[in-house]
Amino acid sequence: MYAKGISSLPPYLFAGIDKRKEEARKKGVDVIDLGIGDPDLPTPPHIVEALCHAAKDPSNHRYPSYEGLLSFREAVATWYKQRKHVNLDADDEVLTLIGSKEGLAHSVFAFLNPGDIALVPDPAYPVYNNATVLAGSTPYSVPLTEEHDFKPDLESIDKEIARKAKIMFLNYPNNPTAATVEKNFFKEVVDFAHENDIIILHDNPYSELTFDGYEAPSFLAVKGAKEVGIEFNSLSKTYNMTGWRIGYAVGNSEILEGLRIVKTNIDSGAFQAVQIAGIVALTDSQDSVKRNMEIYRERRDIAVTGLRAAGVEVKTPKATFYLWAKVPSGFSSIQFSMFLLERTGVVVTPGLGFGKHGEGFFRLAFCISGERLKEACERIKRLNL
């Protein structure tokens, strides 16, 4: 009944977690959800007000442009210059997206034919692998291991595979591992892409969720990066706008044109009122972003301290709102996540759900209040792991 691509997909990880949570809630369990990275903090009021005003303007009720409002793209370009020291031409080096997820998924169809190879990090956000499968192409797993600080060992990638590969996905600060990189890593990536004629698709939605003085570099800040790739970003995590579905891709104009062609045949662009609110988010005061980071840093410290007290091995991340913790001995990652839910009502994401190299770990998202985080850690501590 279904197409081969759909039949080849694994069950979507977060949908499965939602089902288990609902089953537990129906049984009366007080579920503490640390599974999905969805900010609980509200969108800042000035952004909401901008949307309300724009939504009342009838000129925003019609079809938007496929590329997005030029004024939104200019706001993105200004933000990149100020925050990431990257110069962008708003006309052809910025493309508006209905959230970065759709752009990542659609980009595969612009560059891969059936049977082509995509280099996909493992563990990783499932969309990279699944979009490749839907395109009828072949995802080639690139391990992210603790020994290499959860960065791909470019030297170890099979030379023949590297020559055949058309695209490579990257994501730093990283989901799910919370790993971070410096600009010198991106220089290695650019050299690798040039040597093997590979398009780099860098997913960067956590660029502003950083702590302890760390600043996440843009892939495009490295010399030569714009010749080989594009970067995806989103307003979702930075401005607590996950449900608004607004993001963008920036970088190489020819690569963006391929993505634009796919999108013009699939969607009709992002609602203009949301883009106008996005302009306000990008160009107005960034005080709300600073407050967010203070809250997330406090939560991070609560979770790290609490998990360590419960006997769980975890490192303190410098970015994202995730912890990548080791599964206690005697459990697989799925077994441990089910054990936690059944015994404590705490939901975490099994590492295996992000790829086979995620086995042995689980991901925890600190997108809930500090008090609930403390309660979750206390429940885990009572298990005497």
| Residue 267 domain-assigned (yes or no) | yes
Instruction: Give the pLDDT mean for 148-168.
Output: 97
Q: Distance between CA 237 and CA 89 in Å, rounded? A: 24
Q: Distance between CA 231 and CA 385 in Å, rounded? A: 41
Residue in this structure with the two tokens 């005080």, named with its chain if needed: 287
Give pTM, 2 decimals: 0.96
Q: Distance between CA 51 and CA 45 in Å, rounded? A: 10
Both 198 and 257 in a single domain? yes
Both 264 and 305 in a single domain? no
Both 178 and 294 in a single domain? no
Instruction: Give the pLDDT mean for 353-377.
Output: 97
| Residue 103 domain-assigned (yes or no) | yes
Give the per-residue pLDDT at 204.
Answer: 98
Confidence of residue 13 (pLDDT cuts 50, 70, 90): low
Q: Distance between CA 143 and CA 104 in Å, rounded? A: 20
Q: What percent of the chain has pLDDT over 90?
A: 91
Tens-digit pLDDT profile for residues 259-316: 999 999 999 999 999 999 999 999 999 999 999 999 999 999 999 999 999 999 999 9
Report helix, strand or coil for 283.
helix
Both 257 and 149 in a single domain? yes
Tens-digit pLDDT profile for residues 115-136: 999 999 999 999 999 999 999 9
CA distance readout (Å), 261 to 66, 122, 265, 278, 290: 9, 29, 7, 23, 37
Residue 36 DSSP one-character state = S
Among residues 267, 283, 299, which one ends one of the domains?
283
Tens-digit pLDDT profile for residues 39-81: 999 999 999 999 999 999 999 999 999 999 999 999 999 999 9
Both 159 and 190 in a single domain? yes
Range of the structural domain that residue 241 is part of = 62-283
| Residue 54 domain-assigned (yes or no) | no
Both 170 and 273 in a single domain? yes
Q: The domain that contains 366 carries what CATH number? A: 3.90.1150.10
